[in-house]
């Protein structure tokens, strides 16, 4: 970590995006995480995504649970409201916040302990409900703040820094999210910004429950030989399925991609995802095939990354509840209170 305070002045020649903000406007405070932490790369990718998508920072609400990952919302989008909730329970708070105001963009940030161990229940249910959000799991397989215990996503047989072997089956949050009904499921690696940034942008443009399981090595406790979450291990076992562009109506935002077949998927809110296939026969709209592929890759020790699953036609929570377009937090007395005459009628029926 660093003790340097970030300068507030921006260089006047910094480029501005379509809504007039510089990249710096999307940053937060200086990170207090360890130097080299994968989480900081994810924060930087979030900053880049929001800048490139020209989202007004105050239109984003960022919520997190507890743990190293959940500290990161302090380090990006400093002009957004943030909420560091309780351990494993960010999904319910995010759900409630979303019910109150459907117009903001909701970003849930969590870790593997937060989502797969203590918070597995809320993780499952927030996916089931189709809450319109970007849910980012910064997945390193260990508890960092409490110094290196295994989390529930640690692979069976992986070895802790102090030599302990994990005997419990690891939970794959991406497969789980697909099963639970998430409509956008992706996996990426904190060390692969070229893949991660378009995925974050695609997730933000997706009108439903979008989850990104981002493998993010813990340099302090899980970056050694024998770990299946180390930089080296993940680099060698990363099987990217596809690369993404997001088209938001105006010019497409593109990143540098390897060549491959291209598919365009239009989403219900008008945005289009342009998918460049790397694995030629992988179809992310096929739920069963997606699950099978993730499992097959896992069987041979590989990690499937990219857009794993994209559901078509699924509705989000507000659509299911058929709530009014006006955010509920803006409704006043006239909308909410039936008044004394209605009450008198109720009284009458109770005599």
Choice from 7, 163, 259, 339 touching another protein (CB under 8 A)? 339
Length of the chain: 351
3-class secondary-structure state, position 217:
coil
347 is an interface residue for another protein by CB under 8 A: yes
The two tokens of residue 102 are 């459907």
DSSP string, 200-231: HHHHHH-SSEEEEEEE---TTTS-STT-SSSH
Choice from 74, 151, 238, 271 touching another protein (CB under 8 A)? 74
337 is an interface residue for another protein by CB under 8 A: yes
- Asked whether the CA dihedral 13, 201, 193, 220 is positive or negative, the reply is positive
**Which residues between 117 and 156 bind another protein (CB under 8 A)?**
121-122, 124-125, 129
Q: Smallest distance from the beta carbon of 333 to another protein, in angstroms?
A: 6
**Which residues between 283 and 322 bind another protein (CB under 8 A)?**
321-322
100 is an interface residue for another protein by CB under 8 A: yes
Q: Which of the stretches 59-67, 192-200, 241-249, 287-295 binds another protein when contact is defined by CB under 8 A?
A: 59-67
The two tokens of residue 20 are 């007039």
Residue 256 or 344 having the CB closest to another protein? 344
328 is an interface residue for another protein by CB under 8 A: yes
CA distance 287 to 299: 19
Choice from 23, 34, 56, 298 touching another protein (CB under 8 A)? 56
Choice from 79, 171, 194, 263 touching another protein (CB under 8 A)? 79
User: Closest Cα partner for 272 from 166, 180, 347, 201?
Assistant: 201
CA distance 346 to 229: 62
Residue 80 or 216 having the CB closest to another protein? 80
CA distance 236 to 230: 10
Q: Which of the stretches 151-159, 175-183, 204-212, 338-346 binds another protein when contact is defined by CB under 8 A?
A: 338-346
89 is an interface residue for another protein by CB under 8 A: yes
Judge contact between 38 and 191, C-beta under 8 A: yes
Place of tokens 């500290």: 71
Q: Which of the stretches 37-45, 87-95, 233-241, 304-312 binds another protein when contact is defined by CB under 8 A?
A: 87-95
Residue 137 DSSP one-character state: E
Cα distances (Å, whole numbers) of residue 151 to 119, 141, 247, 342:
11, 5, 37, 54
78 is an interface residue for another protein by CB under 8 A: yes
Place of tokens 């009284």: 347
251 is an interface residue for another protein by CB under 8 A: no
108 is an interface residue for another protein by CB under 8 A: no
User: Closest Cα partner for 313 from 139, 183, 211, 134?
Assistant: 183
Q: Smallest distance from the beta carbon of 345 to another protein, in angstroms?
A: 10
109 is an interface residue for another protein by CB under 8 A: no
Residues that bind another protein (CB under 8 A): 56-59, 61, 63, 73-74, 78-86, 89, 91-101, 103-104, 121-122, 124-125, 129, 321-325, 327-329, 331-333, 335-340, 342-344, 346-347, 350-351
């Amino acid at each position: 970590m660093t003790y340097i305070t970030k300068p507030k002045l921006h260089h006047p020649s910094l480029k501005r995006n379509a809504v007039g903000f510089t990249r710096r406007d999307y940053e937060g405070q200086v990170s207090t995480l360890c130097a080299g932490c994968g989480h900081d790369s994810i924060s930087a990718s979030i900053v880049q995504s929001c800048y490139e998508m020209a989202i007004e920072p105050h239109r984003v609400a960022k919520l997190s649970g507890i743990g190293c990952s959940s500290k990161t919302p302090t380090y990006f989008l400093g002009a957004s409201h943030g909420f560091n909730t309780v351990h494993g329970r960010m999904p319910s708070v995010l759900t409630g916040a979303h019910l109150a105001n459907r117009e903001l963009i909701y970003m849930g940030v969590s870790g593997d302990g937060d989502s797969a161990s203590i918070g597995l229940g809320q993780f499952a249910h927030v996916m089931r409900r189709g809450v319109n959000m970007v849910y980012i799991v910064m997945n390193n397989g260990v508890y960092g703040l409490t110094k290196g215990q295994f989390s529930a996503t640690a692979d069976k047989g992986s070895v802790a820094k102090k030599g302990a072997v994990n005997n419990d089956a690891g939970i794959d949050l991406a497969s789980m999210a697909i099963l639970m009904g998430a409509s956008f499921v992706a996996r990426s690696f904190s060390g692969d910004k070229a893949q991660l940034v378009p995925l974050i942008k695609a997730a933000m443009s997706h009108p439903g429950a979008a989850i990104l399981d981002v493998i993010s090595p813990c340099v302090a406790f899980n970056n050694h030989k024998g770990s299946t979450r180390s930089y080296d291990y993940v680099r060698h076992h990363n099987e990217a399925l596809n690369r993404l562009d997001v088209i938001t109506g105006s010019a497409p935002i593109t990143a540098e991609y390897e060549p491959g077949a291209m598919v365009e998927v239009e989403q219900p809110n008008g945005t289009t995802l342009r998918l460049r296939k790397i694995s030629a026969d992988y179809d992310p709209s096929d739920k069963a095939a997606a699950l099978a592929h993730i499992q097959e890759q896992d069987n041979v020790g590989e990690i499937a990354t990219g857009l794993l699953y994209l559901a078509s036609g699924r509705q989000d929570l507000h659509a299911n509840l058929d709530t009014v377009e006006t955010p509920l937090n803006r409704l006043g007395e006239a909308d909410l209170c039936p008044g004394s005459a209605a009450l008198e009628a109720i009284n009458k029926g109770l005599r």
